[in-house]
Structure 1
Amino acid sequence: MKKIVLIGAGGHARVLIDTLSADKTAEVCGILDNNRDLWGIDIHGIPVIGGDDFLPKVGSQGATHFVIAIGGAKQAALRLKLYEIALQHGLTPASVQHPSAIISPRIKVGEGVQALAQCVINTGVTLQENSIVNTSAIIEHDCFIEAHAHIAPRACLAGGVRVGEGTHIGLGSIVKENITIGKQVVVGAGAVVLNNVPAHSVVVGVPAKPIVHKEVA
């Protein structure tokens, strides 16, 4: 039995608790969040036991695995940071798969990937570690999703798309076949991406156009 701690206590955490409740090989044993107002309360019956600084202690309290329960469009860097910290403290990334997800057996999947309700992931796809395929998102054949990316609800990637590390593909957006989207990009909700997108950009609209080039930390 995997004993899982969720890192993050927002809406995405509640979705993950619902999804993991169907997994008979996993048990969510606690939630970590830096919002002190949440400490000591229960979320769907799971206690918020402390902040991120509690990570070194959760293993001694029985946790064996972790899931990054953060999904915001501007939180990719935080998701990466927390993922690496959890690994350093000896926890194992847990993958999450909703029973209704439609997933080809002919894909490559890294650790800690989340495939949520009614998403579709077709043949030849690669999903690197800690990536999210959210509710009803569609990833067509031969796409390559780099680590820590988030494909938001109802986004649709046509065949052969490459999505860079830490990129957020927004709610209901569409990406044309064989497009390359760089790392740490934000594609706005409802955008239609017809051309390649350079790293550290924010693109919105139909067709998608850049509105800002993000500063690199």
Structure 2
Amino acid sequence: MKKLLIIGASGHGKVIADTALKLNKWESISFLDDDENIKTTLGLKVVGKTSDVIKYIDVYDVIVGVGNNNIRGNLQKFLEDKGASIPVLIHPNSIIGEEVILGAGTVVMAGAVINCCSRIGKGCIVNTGSTIDHDNIIEDFVHISPGVHLAGTVKVGKGSWLGIGSIVSNNISIVSNCKIGAGAVIIKDIVETGTYVGMPARRVYS
């Protein structure tokens, strides 16, 4: 069994660790974190700072436990360049349909549902209780927050963030690097980067 190293010992990193513990696939689980005040999380040790990761790459699987899409993306790209083994974590209480593809570094949290023939890019977060229906395309480093619901044949562009409880109707495309506010309802394509809120959603910031 390999060891698992999680970069980030705060909120999102904790949930990744909790999922990893339930999977029971790793000999040990440890963290890297730049906050020197954090020594342990969930009883698991912080063994160094983010910059120390190069020392562990040969013997650990490494995953980025940072919620910010840009930071997570940059860290994962660094790991890829260094040849790190980057796992996919799927909570045992999630449901994954047939012919679903999940990219390296993606995590699927408890209660999430991904229906058949959807493609999830690398470094994505499919958070607690969210649902992704059939034939979705979720590009790299997207964050699907808790309780988000995507209907069939939705496309979400790279680096976008869908806030808690937001809803996307079927056959909708969302451009890269968008922020969708909590509870927003998307009923038409989003073709311009920005922040969108409301029911139906409207653009409020560039």
Structure 1 length-normalised TM: 0.90
Shift of 1:36: 2.5
Match of 2:44 in 1: 46
Partner of 1:205: 198
Unaligned runs of 5+ in 1: none
In 2, the alpha carbon distance for the partners of 1:28 and 1:130 equals 22
The alignment of Structure 1 onto Structure 2 pairs a total of residues equal to: 206
**C-alpha distance 139-3 of structure 1, shift in aligned 2 (>3 A):** same
1:140 to 1:90, Cα distance in 2 relative to 1, 3 A: same
Structure 2: distance between partners of 1:178 and 1:82: 32
- 1:164 maps to 157
| 2:66 alignment counterpart | 70
Aligned to 1:92: 85
For 1:1-217, list aligned pairs within 5 A.
1-38=1-38, 41-59=39-57, 62-63=59-60, 65-71=61-67, 75-213=68-206
Give the alignment's TM-score, normalised by structure 2.
Answer: 0.95
Secondary structure at the aligned position of 2:23 is classed as coil
In 1, Cα distance between the equivalents of 2:28 and 2:81? Answer: 20
Contact 2:113 2:131 in 1 (8 A): yes
Distance 2:12 2:185 in 1: 25
| Aligned-partner residue type, residue 36 of structure 1 | E
Which is worse superposed, 164-173 or 197-206? Answer: 197-206
Unmatched segments (≥5 aa) in structure 2: none
Q: Is the 8 A contact 2:17 2:29 kept in 1?
A: no
Q: Secondary structure at the match of 2:37?
A: helix
SS in 2 for 1:21: helix
> In the TM superposition, what is the alpha-carbon distance from 1:34 to its structure 2 partner?
1.9
Q: Contact 1:184–1:199 (CA<8 Å) still a contact in 2?
A: no
